Structure 1
Amino acid sequence: MGDLVIRNLNQSFPRDDGSRLVVLDDLSLTVQDKEFVCILGSSGCGKTTLLRMIAGLDTAESGSVVLDGEEIRGPNPKVGMVFQEYSLFPWRTVIDNIAFGLEMRGMPKGERHRVAEEYLELVNLSQFRDSFPSELSGGMRQRVAVARALALDPVLLLMDEPFGALDAQTRNKLQIELLEIWEKTKKTVVFITHSVDEAVFLADRIVVMTPRPGRICQVFEIRLPRPRDRTDREFAELRREVLDLINQHCSIQ
C-alpha cells in the first residue's frame, strides 16, 4: 500500500551569520494510498524541501517520513519524482530516456524497451520513440519525464511544479492527461504547485502551507466529481474559498 506518513518534520539551514533559517516547523501529514494530494504555498515556504525529504534526497533535522510502513532514510525505489525542468538527457532518444532508470537497475535492453514503450503509449508519444528531447515541445518533454518516472513502477509519485514553465493552454491540457494517467495507474501522488486553480482541478485534498517556516495551515477536501469544469459555479466557489483562506490566515503576518 502507498500510504505516506510524515511525522513532526523539522528542517533548517545555516546562515552566513551562524544562525539557522527554519524552513519546516513540526510538519505532520498523512497521504493515503492512491490519493492525489496537492501542496499549495508561496515561494520559500518549504514545499520543495518537503518533497526532497519525502524522496530521500535530503535528511530532516528531526521527525520521520514513512512510506508503505518503511522509514525513508535515503533515495528509495518506491518513490518516483518529476521536476519542473524535465531533466531529460539531450543525447538520449525518448525511448532511452524513459528506459534510463531500468537500465540502471540492470534490466536487459529488450526488456527495458518493452516496458518503456508501454509507458510511452500511456503518454501518447509512441510516434516520437526515436526523437531527441530537442525535437519535442515543452509539454511533450514533460510527458516523457512522467513516463520515465512511472516506468520504474513507484508506489509514490512526487511532482515538483511539473507544469510551472508551460503556457496556460499546454498546462491545462497536461493536467487533464495527468489525471487520465493517474486513474489508470492509481499511484499515490504528491503534487506541488503555486496555482490554486491547478490544485482545485487536480486534487483529492489540498494542503495549504504557511510562509516560512513551513507549517500546515489548513487541508481542504475536494469533493467535486471528475472531470471538473473550471467554469462551474462550485469550482469557482471552492477556488475563492481557498484563495480567501490563503489571504486571511496563511499569508505573511
Structure 2
Amino acid sequence: MGRVEITNLFREFTRDDGGRVVALSDVNLTIADDEFVSFVGPSGCGKTTLLRIIAGLDTANSGEVRVDGELITGPGQKVGMVFQEYSLFPWQNVLTNVAFGLRMRGIGKEERYSIAKKFIALVGLTQFEESYPYELSGGMRQRVAIARALATDPDLLLMDEPFGALDAQTRNHMQCELLDIWGTKKKTILFVTHSCDEAVFLSDRVVVLSPRPGRIREIINISIPRPRDRTNKEFIDLRRSLLEMIDEDERKEERIKCKSGNL
C-alpha cells in the first residue's frame, strides 16, 4: 500500500499586502507502492508546500491528492511525516515520544509500549528508551522521529529535509539507516531535500520542480543498483545533471527578478 495520485494541484497564498503568490501550479504525479521518490528544486519552489498538502496539513486551491484511492482532506492514519526539526516533546522520554501517536489512537499502555519498543529497536536505540531528547545527538533525535512516524504503521512516509541539520558524516550514516528501514518495512517514501547527492543516493526517482510557481520540470529515474557508490561515474553524472538543472533555473529566476525590479 502507499500509492499516491496527485492531480492538477494548484496552491496560491495571499500576502499581507493583498498580493497573491502561486506556490504550485498544475502538478500531476503518480507514485507507486513502496517507491522512494525525492523532490528537489530551487528554494521557494513549493517542495514543502506539496508535502504538507499530501499530508493533509495544508489545502490546495484546486486539484486533489489520493493515497490508495482515498481522497486526502486532512491528517489521517495513512500518512506519517518527519520534519527537519525533529518535533519531539522535550518533557517525554524516547519511549513515550515514539508511543505518542498510538496513545492518541486510544491504544492501551501495554500494547502501545510494546509496539513502540519494536520501532525503537528498529532504529537502534533500545538502550536509550528512558533518555530525553536533550540527552541525544541530532542523528539520534531524528531516528526517534522516524520511529514515531513508523509506529502508527502509515502506508506513506513523508520526510521534509529530515537530515538537513546534521553534519555530513552523520547525514551519510542516516541515509544508509533510512534505506535499511525502507528495505525492512517497505513503505512508500516521499523525501524533500536540497541535496542532489542525497536524492541520487536514496531514490528510485527524483522529481525536479521548477522555480515558483512550482511545476514538475523533469522526472529522473535512478536505475543504479543499491548500495550505491557515490564515486561511480553514473552517480556523478546524474548528480551533475541535477545540479546544472537547478542552477539554470535559479539563474533564470534571478534574471527575471532583476528585470522586474524586485532585487
TM range (shorter): over 0.9
**CA deviation map 1:50-73 (0-9, x unaligned):** 111000011100000000011000
CA distance in 1, matches of 2:56, 2:193: 20
Cα pair 1:210 1:251 within 8 Å, conserved: no
Displacement of 1:172: 0.3
Cα offset, 1:32, TM superposition:
0.6
Partner of 1:104: 104
TM-score by structure 1 length?
0.98
**CA deviation after TM superposition for structure 1 residue 248, in Å:** 3.5
- Is the 8 Å Cα contact of residues 211 and 249 (structure 2) preserved in structure 1? no
Q: Report which stretch shifted further, 150-159 or 43-52.
A: 43-52
Shift of residue 246, structure 1, vs aligned partner: 2.4
CA distance in 1, matches of 2:162, 2:174: 10
- Structure 2 CA distance, aligned partners of 1:183 and 1:252? 39
CA shift digits 1:83-142 (9 cap, x unpaired): 000000011010100000000111111100100010001000000011010100000000
**1:40 corresponds to which letter in structure 2?**
V
- Asked if 1:18 is matched to 2:2, the reply is no
* Structure 2 counterparts to residues 181-220 of structure 1, below 5 A: 181-220=181-220
- The aligned counterpart of 1:143 is 143
Alignment of 1:159-198 (within 5 A): 159-198=159-198
Matches of 2:17 and 2:170, distance apart in 1 = 44
Deviation at 1:250, TM superposition (A): 7.0
Q: Report if the CA contact (8 A) 2:42-2:246 is conserved.
A: no
User: Residues of 1 paired with 2:137 and 2:2: CA distance?
Assistant: 32
TM superposition score normalised by structure 2? 0.94
3-state SS of paired residue (1:213): coil
Considering only aligned residues, what root-mean-square deviation do their CA atoms show, in Å?
1.0
Counterpart amino acid of residue 87 in structure 1: S
- Provide structure 1 residue ranges, at least 5 long, that are not aligned to the other structure: none
Q: CA deviation at 1:249?
A: 5.4
One-letter amino acid of the counterpart of residue 12, structure 1: E
Q: Partners of 2:179 and 2:155 in 1: how far apart?
A: 16
Aligned mates of 1:175, 1:150 — CA distance in 2: 16
Query: 1:75 & 1:198 partners in 2: Cα distance?
Result: 27
Residues of 1 paired with 2:250 and 2:204: CA distance? 20
Letter in 1 for 2:233: R
8 Å CA contact 1:209–1:250 kept in 2: the answer is no
Q: Which moved more, 1:14-23 or 1:97-106?
A: 14-23
Q: Helix, strand or coil: the match of 1:115?
A: helix
Alignment-derived partner of residue 73 in structure 1:
73
Distance 1:243 1:48 in 2: 19
Please show how residues 21-36 of structure 1 align to structure 2 within 5 Å: 21-36=21-36
Q: 1:19 Cα deviation (Å)?
A: 2.2
Work out whether residues 6 and 30 of structure 1, in 8 Å CA contact, stay in contact via their aligned partners in 2: yes
Taking the aligned partners of 1:222 and 1:189, their CA distance within structure 2 comes to: 15
Sequence identity (%): 63
Q: Is the 8 A contact 1:23 1:212 kept in 2?
A: yes
SS of residue matched to 1:43:
coil
1:40-79 to 2 correspondences below 5 Å:
40-79=40-79
